[in-house]
Amino acid sequence: MELLNSSLIDWSRAQFAMTAGYHWLFVPLTLGLGVIMSIMETIYVRTGDEAWKKTAKFWQTIFGINFAIGVATGIILEFQFGTNWSNYSWFVGDIFGAPLAIEGIVAFFLEATFISIMFFGWNRVSKKAHLTATWLTITGATLSAYWILVANAWMQYPVGMEFNPDTVRNEMVDFWALISSPVAINKFFHTVLSGWGLGASFAVGIGAWYLLKKRDVDFALKSIKVGAIFGLVSFVFLAVTGDGSGYHVAQKQPMKLAAMEGLYEGQHGAGLVALGMLNPAKKSYNDDVNPYIFKIELPKLLSLMGYRDANAFVPGVKDIVDGGFPVKSGETPLSFEAKKEKGKKAVKALANFQTVKKEGRDTSEYEQALKENYAYFGYGYLDKPEDIVPNVPLTFYSFHLMVMIGLYFILMFAIVWYYHGKKKMETTRWLQYVALWSIPLAYLAGQFGWIVAEVGRQPWTIQDVLPVNAAVSGLATGNVVITFMLFVLLFTALLIAEITIMVKQIKKGPEL
Amino acid sequence: MKEKSDNTTANFNWFRMFWDGFTHMSKLGKTLWIVVIVKLIIMFAILKPIFFPDFLSSKYKSETDIGNYVGEELVDRSDTFNK
């Protein structure tokens, strides 16, 4: 067996997180600006107003810069699956590969075909044909996101597969269950909406910059108008899908919900922490230290969100470790120790299966034992209860900051829309500054969202089935550190190129 | 009033569109293509072959061998981490 240590696991995770984090700087702007430029072009086609054409073309250029620099950055994540997470890659088999392959073949080609008409086709195809190409470009990009998010959702809530001990792979038995998983559908809308919100904040913020500079005012106001309405709608629906995420997390990943709320002791009618500070003195889920320095709660809201019942019991970290807490179905949740026993039985059954298979004997007894305990297979790699507790402070603060920023944007877009409607946007400098400096907040909210989703589900690469310590490749830690540094350099260079080219184009303005 | 561009679809030529698009590309377009090409070269000609070989395929040739290896790894790691 390869020499494994926590340093290797940490560096491999850090490398993946860093790559995904950088990738997510580009993707949401593509998703958001894609719709915004399409709306603007639609207005142009409907009204024939050349000013809207100029506005749409400017945002298409910004979209193009972001698309060109960001494109293929996600492929690096796929490199890492094969090299750094090879056990995982083999173990997930075609389940993970299928959505990614569809993403590459169908969605990417749709996107790539129509983007060429979008950029080269002005005055070559009819206005309606060009508009169709523009909408299909962003439809392709959004479909790409869908397939990626189906793959991610499967890791959070594995469905539609069966483990084959013969090949040591999970095999897809129900493609429909995979692509229509409620976790995947909700994740898709929540994630895409966050991209739309970011695109809207970008359009409004850059529009505000032109107003601050007192130039291209008509263009700026058009950008702000579309951005504010689109942003407001996006963030309201983000709140709705966020509530959906909370519900699914409560059902499928209760430990993540407990970490999001810093909830160690479960309770009936649990409140949602609106504002709070965790107590750094709390070192273990099992000590008696109060987890909060202070907190302001919205009564019963966590129970309502998680279980659609204001008095439902929401388990805390300790309850999930100990098991036996009340659930609606009447079943008794297993303790960590009971799950660990089942996990060990599953791994033992796999070991016995391999042995008797080599000897040419009947394997059915071990196949059955594996099947009976497979739901807890991953617990066979964990040692102590603390192993299933994610980083609570990181998850807690990321979640609450994300929600606060989301609520802030609902307010900001509503105010901007109001001021725009009253024709005061052009003269209200404080709001112009607020809109401009809010752009980074939209990026932060997206990053926080992914931290909640991914850090909150640790130690799992596949929920309950495969933890990171079983998924990682037995590489030399030094190699992973080197590639981590290489990626930092590559992505930082790309980010600098993005910002430099974009700023130059924005300063140049919409006179194309 | 119909614009001139409304009649362009009938004369649409894919090759011509790409030819004109690339030959009359703006400075920004050229810059972006350079960034894309350099990035793809770094990713596929340097990073992938040198730093990111397929870990399992580099050790074993057949799928059966890979499956056996992963199976043994999963069993051994349980012994390592699960005391």
What does the pLDDT look like over A443-460, one tens digit per residue? 999 999 999 999 999 999
Predicted pLDDT of residue B4 = 44
Nearest to B75 among A167, A169, A350 (CB): A350
Nearest CB to A82 within list B3, B55, B73: B55
Q: Is the peptide bond before A459 cis (omega within 30 degrees of 0)?
A: yes
Q: How far apart are CA A499 and CA A495, in angstroms?
A: 6
| Angstroms from A59 CA to nearest CA on chain B | 14
Put simply, the answer to whether B3 touches A127 (Cβ < 8 Å) is: yes
Residues in chain A where the model's pLDDT stays below 50 = 1-2
Residue A262 contacts residue A278 (beta carbons within 8 Å): yes
Task: Give the closest-approach CA distance of B60 to chain A in angstroms.
Answer: 12
A126 to chain B, closest Cα gap in Å: 4
Interchain CB distance below 8 Å, B81 and A168: no
Query: pLDDT by residue (tens digit) across B14-43?
Result: 888 888 888 888 999 999 999 999 999 998
Cβ pairs bridging A and B (under 8 Å)? 159
**B37-61, pLDDT tens digit by residue?**
999 999 899 988 988 888 898 889 8
Contact assignment for A68 to B35 by CB distance below 8 Å:
yes
Nearest Cα residue to A316 out of A399, A392, A403: A392
CA–CA distance from A376 to each of A319, A340, A343, A381 (Å)? 18, 7, 5, 10
Query: Which chain B positions have a beta carbon within 8 Å of A117's beta carbon?
Result: 17
Residue with tokens 């890659």: A89
Q: What is the pLDDT of residue A106?
A: 74
Among the partner residues A89, A119, A129, nearest to B21 by beta-carbon distance: A119
pLDDT of B8 reads 58
Secondary structure element (H or E) that encloses residue A171, with its range: strand A169-172
Query: B10 falls in which pLDDT band (50, 70, 90)?
Result: low
pLDDT value of residue A104: 75
Q: Count CA atoms closer than 13 A to A177's CA, side-chain side.
A: 12
A contact residues 225-284, partner B, Cβ 8 Å cutoff: none
Interface of A with B in 427-456 (CB under 8 A): none
Using a CB–CB cutoff of 8 Å, tell me whether A335 touches chain B: no
- Give CA–CA dist A34/A59, Å, rounded: 9
Would you state the pLDDT for residue A97? Answer: 78
With beta carbons under 8 A apart, name residues in chain B contacting A370: none
CB-CB neighbors (< 8 A) of B15 in chain A: none
Confirm or reject contact between A76 and chain B (CB < 8 A).
yes
Residue A68, C-beta contacts closer than 8 angstroms, at least 6 positions apart: B32, B33, B35, B36
A250, A314 Cβ separation under 8 angstroms: yes
Q: Is B53 exposed, middle or buried (0-12, 13-18, 19+ CB in 10 A)?
A: middle
Task: Report yes or no: A72 at the B interface, CB cutoff 8 Å.
Answer: yes
> What are the CB-based long-range contacts (under 8 Å, 24+) for A423-426?
A425/A211, A425/A221, A425/A224, A426/A211, A426/A217, A426/A221
Which residues of chain A have a CB within 8 Å of the CB of B78? Answer: 343-344, 347, 380-381, 470
Question: What mean pLDDT is reported for chain B?
Answer: 83
Contacting B residues, span 10-69, partner chain A, CB-CB under 8 Å: 12, 16-18, 20-21, 28-29, 31-33, 35-36, 39-40, 42-43, 47-48, 51-56, 63, 66-68
Rounded to two decimals, the ipTM of the complex is 0.84
Amino acid identity at A133: A
Helix (H) or strand (E) holding A93: helix A86-102
What does the pLDDT read at residue A1?
44
Using a CB-CB cut-off of 8 Å, the residues of chain B touching A344 are 78, 82
Residue of chain B whose alpha carbon sits nearest to that of A474: B55
CB contact under 8 A, A125 and B67: no
A contacts of B28 (beta carbons < 8 Å): 61, 65, 501, 505
User: Residue B74 and residue A87: Cβ atoms within 8 Å?
Assistant: yes
Contacts of A423 (CB under 8 A, 6+ apart): none
Cβ-defined contact of A68 to B40 (cutoff 8 Å): no
Q: Are A404 and A493 in contact (CB under 8 A)?
A: no
Task: Chain B: give the shortest CA distance to residue A148, in Å.
Answer: 20
Chain B CA closest to residue A343 = B78
Q: How far is A172 from chain B (nearest CA, A)?
A: 17
Nearest-angstrom CA–CA distance, A264 and A286:
9
Write the residue in A68, A482, A490 that is nearest to B32 by C-beta.
Answer: A68
pLDDT score at A205: 98
User: Is the separation of the CB atoms in A65 and A498 below 8 Å?
Assistant: yes
Q: How far is A309 from chain B (nearest CA, A)?
A: 38
Tell which of A125, A164, A500 to mutate to test the B interface (max B CBs under 10 Å): A125
End-to-end CA distance of chain B: 80
Instruction: Kindly determine whether residue A490 and residue B56, on different chains, have CB atoms separated by under 8 Å.
Output: no
Residue of A nearest to B35 (CA): A69
Q: Which residues of A touch B54 (CB under 8 A)?
A: 82-83, 86
User: Which chain B residue lies closest to A496 (C-alpha atoms)?
Assistant: B35
Is the pLDDT assigned to residue B2 strictly greater than 50?
A: no
The tens digit of pLDDT for each residue in A7-17 reads 999 999 999 99
Inter-chain touch A350–B82, beta carbons under 8 Å: no
pLDDT at residue A73, as a whole number = 86
